[in-house]
Amino acid sequence: MGKELKYRTCHLCEAMCGLEIEVEDNKVLSIKGHKEDIYSKGHICPKGVALKDLHEDKNRLKRPVKRTDNGWVEISWNEAFDAVERELKKIRKKYGNDAIATYTGNPTVHNTGTALTLYDTINAIDTKNRYASHSLDSVPVFLVNQMMFGHAMLAPVPDIESLDYFLIIGANPLASNGSFMSTPDIKGKISNIKSKGKVVVIDPRKTETAKKASEHYFIKPERDIYLLLGIANELFKRTNITDSLSYSYIKNIDQLQEVVSEYDLENIAPLTGMSADDISKIIDDLLSHKNPVVYGRLGVNTQRYGTLCQWLITSVNILLGQLDKPGGLLFTLPAIDYVTLMAHESKMFRYKSRVKSYGEIVGEYPTATLAEEILTPGEGQVRGFLSIAGNPARSAPNSDQVEEALKSLEFMVAVDMYINETTQYADIILPPAVGLETMHYSFVLHMVATKNTSKFSPPPLQVSDNQRYDYQIMSELQRRLFSGGVFSKAKNYITSKISPKRKLDLALKTGPYGIWGGRKFKKDGLSLSKLEKKKEGVFLSELSGQFPDRLFTKDKKVELTPELFVKELQNLKKESFEAKDDKHPFTLIGRRHLRSNNSWMHNLPILQGGSRKCTAMIHPQDASFLSISDDQMIEVYSKKGSISIAAEVSDEIVPGTISIPHGWGHHGKNIRMDVAQEESGVNVNLLMDHERLDPLSYNMAFNGHPVGIRAISS
């Protein structure tokens, strides 16, 4: 077979960049951006090129393995599935359905086969003990969407190409490629905004995005809530929301004005570390530009006030008259309308976790309590565990406790391609075909894209006869682990046999642009066969106003002041930021790298180097006071543990704060990730208190964590 060009959408982050892949004899010769791609126009970041390394990684599993006293041994697929079925059914029979827990990692929404079979598989197990990585970083967004718009997945997206003022608070899109704002070439789009107006970043660290912005302002960690309250209060004084086109769809605006009225700039400025003049200038700019938007992400979500911050960011955009408006925030209408299809799943607080009574959100408990549910004896204790494309031993807080819990399980199965810090404790690992071996359709990410487009990618490379696709593994588990009656069992069997391509075709045909979209036959409507002929994808429409049809609230109104949020705002008044923890006087925040999205990417050689470093960034003023020099080893400690890490002395961070990236710590003797272990880094989550949560969404409050620092003598 000669050289061929294959085309695919990159699935390693949210940007959905199109790739042009040169292949010969089922080997990758090169990967570059596809210039004709309807969405990315040839843009590519280092992660896209890394798909070659992933395919060729000698550590990647391709056949099932079983953990034995003498190490890991390969077994057949039938033997592996038989063992999983036997052991998990044994646990369920002895202890009940909830004795089995499931965990889904970030890659489940990026891998089409997994995403299309995941819910059916977990529903077949019929357990309430469901956990997911998004409870560590995204649940505040879901909760705000649910309370304000009636659907957890209905997220408004900045109309980024039309903006002339972009205020970014606690987000670093140049590193993330636009989380909950899926857009390729964010650097180019930021330059475009600057040519028309301003890009302003507010962050405790001068991030990659801040360096490209028009202006950057330092803020103290976890003080964003005061800044947003002050901005909202000032907007009520300076503008009239009734002039907005969306005003007729908003309710309880007077109540919002009342709850923010006491937060004057002179009062909140000292708490934030910003000056009242600077905050006032930012508000002036918001009001003087035609198309401003405020955007926040991990920095404001992964803290104690994550939900309140997300609520106020949305509310500020509403007060600016920028919701459901071109040049503001808009809702998508993708070819596969996942929001409508999953409307029945958009529920929360129906039941509570056993140990801490945390409320369920969108079917899942917070990952922060997973270890407790495994380790705490009593009725309902988790004894069996199914981990799907996740690494909670590195992504979850209080990592020592997580690993202790995983060790104690009676049986664990992992659907994963690596033996990593989590899967090392599995009894059976079921490895799926990944990356360039799989088909791809980004139906989840199209819900937060900046344009309505559609593209299907067939697999560029073939798999060997003994490999299995993710959907084959998931469907087999679905059939074998089903718990229910005869009729339900028959239905479960039928759904497990429907191929992902068939599901995609049906969803496309019945979607808004499909042959049967809108319940009317459209001869030229979208279908999978039509997409397969368009390697560059199909442009469907620019984002546009969707009110009131897109709202899922009963009265088709946006609830501006959910009672849950207003009540929690009262607790904010009781907080005292002046009371210092003398033992842990510093504040810890995270850090994102373009070359490091998930922990397993540390095993790809091409993603090594650059700015990707596992260091503790510390301000020169603090370093001098503690007699710490650049690259010196320091101890960072908290109530939960301590780590030793190299210092990176930099004036790009606010004094009193240190920054350490998460997902590192690949030093375990039982894992098989050779490249990652060469540069193992340090696991920051050893420091994290798993009880330090946002009290509304139970999202982990990684940012703002109190720590102490001391120099380590050489």
Choose among 516, 663, 683, 520: nearest CA to 601: 663
pLDDT surpasses 60 at 548: yes
Helix (H, G, I), strand (E, B) or coil at 27: strand
CA distance 41 to 499: 31
Question: How confident is the model at residue 674, as a pLDDT?
Answer: 95
pLDDT surpasses 90 at 571: no
pLDDT surpasses 90 at 341: no
Residue whose pair of structure tokens reads 């029979």 in the numeric block: 93
CA distance 637 to 653: 19
| Distance in Å from the first CA to the final CA of the chain | 59
Give 611's pLDDT tier (boundaries 50, 70, 90).
confident
pLDDT surpasses 90 at 544: yes
Give 1's pLDDT tier (boundaries 50, 70, 90).
low
At position 11, the amino acid (one-letter code) is H
Question: How confident is the model at residue 490, as a pLDDT?
Answer: 85
Q: How many helices (H) and strands (E) does the chain have?
A: 25, 28
pLDDT surpasses 70 at 675: yes
Question: How confident is the model at residue 430, as a pLDDT?
Answer: 98
- The Cα-based distances of 516 to 335, 521, 589, 666 in angstroms read 12, 5, 49, 50
Question: How confident is the model at residue 597, as a pLDDT?
Answer: 77
The model's pLDDT over 149-194, given as tens digits with 9 standing for 90+, comes to 999 999 999 999 999 999 999 999 999 888 999 999 999 999 999 9
Give 522's pLDDT tier (boundaries 50, 70, 90).
confident
Kindly list the strands in the beta sheet with 27-33, ordered across the sheet, starting from the edge strand earlier in the chain.
4-9, 18-24, 27-33
Domains of the chain: 4-49 (3.30.200.210), 65-137+338-542 (3.40.50.740), 159-325 (3.40.228.10), 580-711 (2.40.40.20)
Question: How confident is the model at residue 244, as a pLDDT?
Answer: 66
The model's pLDDT over 219-257, given as tens digits with 9 standing for 90+, comes to 999 999 999 999 999 999 988 776 666 778 999 999 999
pLDDT surpasses 60 at 579: no
Question: How confident is the model at residue 523, as a pLDDT?
Answer: 78
Strands, E, within 389-461: which ranges?
A: 411-415, 428-430, 451-454
CA distance 680 to 337: 41
At position 697, the amino acid (one-letter code) is S
Question: How confident is the model at residue 572, as a pLDDT?
Answer: 86
Please give the share of the chain, as a percent, with pLDDT higher than 70: 98
Provide mean pLDDT across the span 323-332. Answer: 96
Strands, E, within 218-265: which ranges?
A: 250-251
Provide mean pLDDT across the span 374-401. Answer: 97
Question: How confident is the model at residue 578, as a pLDDT?
Answer: 52
DSSP codes joined into one string, 556-582: S-EESS-HHHHHHHHHHTT--TTS--T
The model's pLDDT over 260-314, given as tens digits with 9 standing for 90+, comes to 999 999 999 999 999 999 999 999 999 999 999 999 999 999 999 999 999 999 9
Helices (H), 265-398: 265-272, 276-288, 298-301, 306-319, 338-341, 370-375, 392-395
Pairing mode, if any, of strands 165-169 and 198-202?
parallel
Residue whose pair of structure tokens reads 């006032």 in the numeric block: 280
Residues 6+ apart with CB under 8 A from 513: 335, 454, 525, 526, 540
Question: How confident is the model at residue 577, as a pLDDT?
Answer: 57
DSSP codes joined into one string, 89-146: HHHHHHH-GGGEEEEE-GGGGT-HHHHHHHHHHHHHHT-S-EEEGGGGTTHHHHHHHH
Choose among 466, 408, 368: nearest CA to 705: 368
The model's pLDDT over 433-447, given as tens digits with 9 standing for 90+, comes to 999 999 999 988 999
CA distance 351 to 359: 6
Q: Is the dihedral of CA 583, 589, 591, 596 positive or negative?
A: positive
The model's pLDDT over 470-519, given as tens digits with 9 standing for 90+, comes to 999 999 999 999 988 877 888 888 888 999 999 999 999 999 999 987 66
DSSP label of 256: H
The model's pLDDT over 75-86, given as tens digits with 9 standing for 90+, comes to 999 999 999 999
Provide mean pLDDT across the span 704-710. Answer: 97
Question: How confident is the model at residue 576, as a pLDDT?
Answer: 58
Question: How confident is the model at residue 493, as a pLDDT?
Answer: 86
- The Cα-based distances of 251 to 141, 231, 303 in angstroms read 20, 20, 28
462 CB neighbour count, 10 Å cutoff: 12
CA distance 214 to 191: 10
Question: How confident is the model at residue 344, as a pLDDT?
Answer: 79
CA distance 99 to 597: 32
Question: How confident is the model at residue 312, as a pLDDT?
Answer: 98
Residues 6+ apart with CB under 8 A from 661: 590, 591, 592, 593, 596, 613, 614, 681, 684
493, burial (CB in 10 Å: exposed 0-12, middle 13-18, buried 19+) = middle
Bridge partners of residue 109, in order along the sequence: none
CA distance 176 to 299: 12
Residue whose pair of structure tokens reads 């052991």 in the numeric block: 87
78, burial (CB in 10 Å: exposed 0-12, middle 13-18, buried 19+) = exposed
CA distance 439 to 458: 4
CA distance 396 to 394: 6
Question: How confident is the model at residue 243, as a pLDDT?
Answer: 67
Question: How confident is the model at residue 598, as a pLDDT?
Answer: 84
Question: How confident is the model at residue 391, as a pLDDT?
Answer: 96
Q: Is the pTM of this model over 0.85?
A: yes
pLDDT surpasses 70 at 104: yes
Residues 6+ apart with CB under 8 A from 41: 35, 184, 185
Provide mean pLDDT across the span 356-362. Answer: 96
